[in-house]
Amino acid sequence: MNRTIDYYTELAQRGLQPSVQRVRILEFLHANRIHPTAEQIWLRLSPGMPTLSRTTVYNTLKLFAEAGIVQTLVIEEKEMRFDIDTSHHGHFSCDRCGTVFDFTASALSGAVPSELDGFEIRERHLYYKGLCRECRTKERRKG
Protein backbone atom coordinates (compact mmCIF):
# COMPACT_ATOMS: atom_id res chain seq x y z
CA MET A 1 0.00 0.00 0.00
CA ASN A 2 1.71 3.13 -1.19
CA ARG A 3 -0.07 6.23 0.08
CA THR A 4 1.95 8.57 -2.07
CA ILE A 5 0.70 6.85 -5.19
CA ASP A 6 -2.86 6.92 -3.82
CA TYR A 7 -2.82 10.67 -3.39
CA TYR A 8 -0.96 11.15 -6.63
CA THR A 9 -3.76 9.45 -8.54
CA GLU A 10 -6.45 11.13 -6.44
CA LEU A 11 -5.16 14.51 -7.60
CA ALA A 12 -4.76 13.37 -11.19
CA GLN A 13 -8.30 12.03 -11.27
CA ARG A 14 -9.59 15.40 -10.15
CA GLY A 15 -7.74 17.11 -12.96
CA LEU A 16 -5.11 18.64 -10.69
CA GLN A 17 -1.49 18.26 -11.55
CA PRO A 18 0.01 16.05 -8.82
CA SER A 19 3.11 18.04 -8.02
CA VAL A 20 5.37 16.93 -5.18
CA GLN A 21 4.12 19.82 -3.03
CA ARG A 22 0.45 19.08 -3.63
CA VAL A 23 0.85 15.38 -2.87
CA ARG A 24 2.70 16.09 0.38
CA ILE A 25 0.08 18.60 1.52
CA LEU A 26 -2.73 16.17 0.68
CA GLU A 27 -0.90 13.39 2.54
CA PHE A 28 -0.52 15.64 5.53
CA LEU A 29 -4.20 16.51 5.60
CA HIS A 30 -5.21 12.84 5.45
CA ALA A 31 -2.75 11.80 8.15
CA ASN A 32 -3.30 14.72 10.53
CA ARG A 33 -6.96 15.34 11.17
CA ILE A 34 -6.36 18.38 13.29
CA HIS A 35 -8.04 21.08 11.19
CA PRO A 36 -4.66 22.72 10.63
CA THR A 37 -3.94 26.25 9.54
CA ALA A 38 -1.75 26.93 6.50
CA GLU A 39 1.05 27.92 8.85
CA GLN A 40 0.84 24.64 10.77
CA ILE A 41 1.06 22.65 7.56
CA TRP A 42 4.05 24.66 6.42
CA LEU A 43 5.81 24.25 9.78
CA ARG A 44 5.38 20.48 9.69
CA LEU A 45 6.33 19.97 6.04
CA SER A 46 9.18 22.42 5.58
CA PRO A 47 11.80 20.43 7.54
CA GLY A 48 11.45 17.68 4.92
CA MET A 49 11.08 20.13 2.02
CA PRO A 50 13.36 23.06 2.81
CA THR A 51 12.38 25.08 -0.25
CA LEU A 52 8.64 24.77 0.33
CA SER A 53 7.13 28.20 0.22
CA ARG A 54 4.33 29.38 2.46
CA THR A 55 2.72 30.82 -0.65
CA THR A 56 2.60 27.35 -2.19
CA VAL A 57 0.80 26.03 0.86
CA TYR A 58 -1.75 28.85 0.63
CA ASN A 59 -2.17 28.40 -3.13
CA THR A 60 -2.57 24.66 -2.82
CA LEU A 61 -5.15 24.88 -0.06
CA LYS A 62 -7.14 27.38 -2.09
CA LEU A 63 -6.98 25.02 -5.04
CA PHE A 64 -8.09 22.08 -2.90
CA ALA A 65 -10.99 24.11 -1.51
CA GLU A 66 -12.16 25.07 -5.00
CA ALA A 67 -11.90 21.45 -6.08
CA GLY A 68 -13.96 20.34 -3.08
CA ILE A 69 -11.13 18.30 -1.57
CA VAL A 70 -11.15 20.30 1.66
CA GLN A 71 -13.62 22.54 3.42
CA THR A 72 -12.52 25.81 4.96
CA LEU A 73 -13.39 26.66 8.55
CA VAL A 74 -13.57 30.18 9.88
CA ILE A 75 -13.95 29.85 13.63
CA GLU A 76 -11.37 32.17 15.11
CA GLU A 77 -10.80 35.59 13.69
CA LYS A 78 -7.80 35.89 11.46
CA GLU A 79 -6.95 32.23 10.99
CA MET A 80 -8.51 29.89 8.49
CA ARG A 81 -8.48 26.17 9.10
CA PHE A 82 -8.74 23.33 6.60
CA ASP A 83 -10.68 20.10 6.96
CA ILE A 84 -10.08 17.09 4.72
CA ASP A 85 -13.44 15.73 5.97
CA THR A 86 -15.98 17.51 3.79
CA SER A 87 -19.00 15.73 5.26
CA HIS A 88 -21.58 17.63 7.29
CA HIS A 89 -20.41 17.83 10.89
CA GLY A 90 -20.09 20.38 13.66
CA HIS A 91 -16.93 21.80 15.21
CA PHE A 92 -16.06 22.65 18.77
CA SER A 93 -13.14 25.01 19.33
CA CYS A 94 -11.52 25.07 22.77
CA ASP A 95 -10.76 28.60 23.96
CA ARG A 96 -7.91 27.34 26.12
CA CYS A 97 -5.91 24.79 24.11
CA GLY A 98 -7.13 25.75 20.64
CA THR A 99 -8.01 22.20 19.61
CA VAL A 100 -10.88 21.86 17.15
CA PHE A 101 -13.08 18.81 17.78
CA ASP A 102 -15.63 17.23 15.45
CA PHE A 103 -19.15 16.29 16.45
CA THR A 104 -22.16 14.90 14.61
CA ALA A 105 -24.72 17.56 13.79
CA SER A 106 -28.02 16.59 12.25
CA ALA A 107 -28.96 20.27 12.11
CA LEU A 108 -26.68 20.68 9.13
CA SER A 109 -28.60 18.18 7.02
CA GLY A 110 -32.17 19.10 7.90
CA ALA A 111 -34.61 21.50 6.32
CA VAL A 112 -33.87 25.15 5.75
CA PRO A 113 -36.05 27.72 7.55
CA SER A 114 -38.68 29.37 5.38
CA GLU A 115 -37.03 32.74 5.98
CA LEU A 116 -34.41 31.57 3.50
CA ASP A 117 -36.83 30.52 0.77
CA GLY A 118 -35.34 31.51 -2.56
CA PHE A 119 -31.82 31.64 -1.17
CA GLU A 120 -29.14 29.42 -2.64
CA ILE A 121 -27.30 27.72 0.19
CA ARG A 122 -23.79 26.65 -0.65
CA GLU A 123 -22.28 26.04 2.78
CA ARG A 124 -23.60 25.29 6.25
CA HIS A 125 -21.48 25.57 9.37
CA LEU A 126 -22.18 24.86 13.00
CA TYR A 127 -19.57 25.62 15.57
CA TYR A 128 -19.42 25.82 19.32
CA LYS A 129 -16.83 27.42 21.52
CA GLY A 130 -15.88 26.86 25.13
CA LEU A 131 -13.65 24.51 27.12
CA CYS A 132 -12.88 20.93 26.17
CA ARG A 133 -13.11 18.22 28.81
CA GLU A 134 -9.40 18.27 29.65
CA CYS A 135 -9.12 22.02 29.85
CA ARG A 136 -12.25 22.24 31.95
CA THR A 137 -10.71 19.87 34.48
CA LYS A 138 -7.52 21.88 34.56
CA GLU A 139 -9.41 25.13 35.06
CA ARG A 140 -11.30 23.65 38.01
CA ARG A 141 -8.13 22.59 39.78
CA LYS A 142 -6.88 26.13 39.68
CA GLY A 143 -10.23 27.53 40.81
- Select from 1-9, 24-32, 74-82, 130-138 the region that touches Zn ion (CB under 5 A): 130-138
* CA distances from residue 43 to 25, 83, 109 in whole angstroms, order as listed: 12, 17, 35
Between residues 21 and 135, which has the closer beta carbon with respect to DNA?
A: 21
Between residues 57 and 132, which has the closer beta carbon with respect to DNA?
A: 57
Give the shortest CB-9-to-Mn ion separation in angstroms.
24
> Whose CA is closest to 80, among 123, 37, 143?
37
> Whose CA is closest to 74, among 32, 130, 135, 129?
129
Tell me, what amino acid is at 109? S
Between residues 17 and 106, which has the closer beta carbon with respect to DNA?
A: 17
By the 8 A CB rule, do 72 and 81 touch?
A: yes
Site residues (vs a second copy, CB under 8 A): 74-78, 80, 90, 92, 95, 101-105, 107, 110, 112-113, 115-133, 136
Strand 80-83 versus strand 90-94 pairing type:
unpaired
Question: Which residues in 47-106 contact Zn ion (CB under 5 A)?
Answer: 94, 96-97
Q: Which residues of the shown chain bind Mn ion in the complex (CB under 5 A)?
A: 83, 85, 102
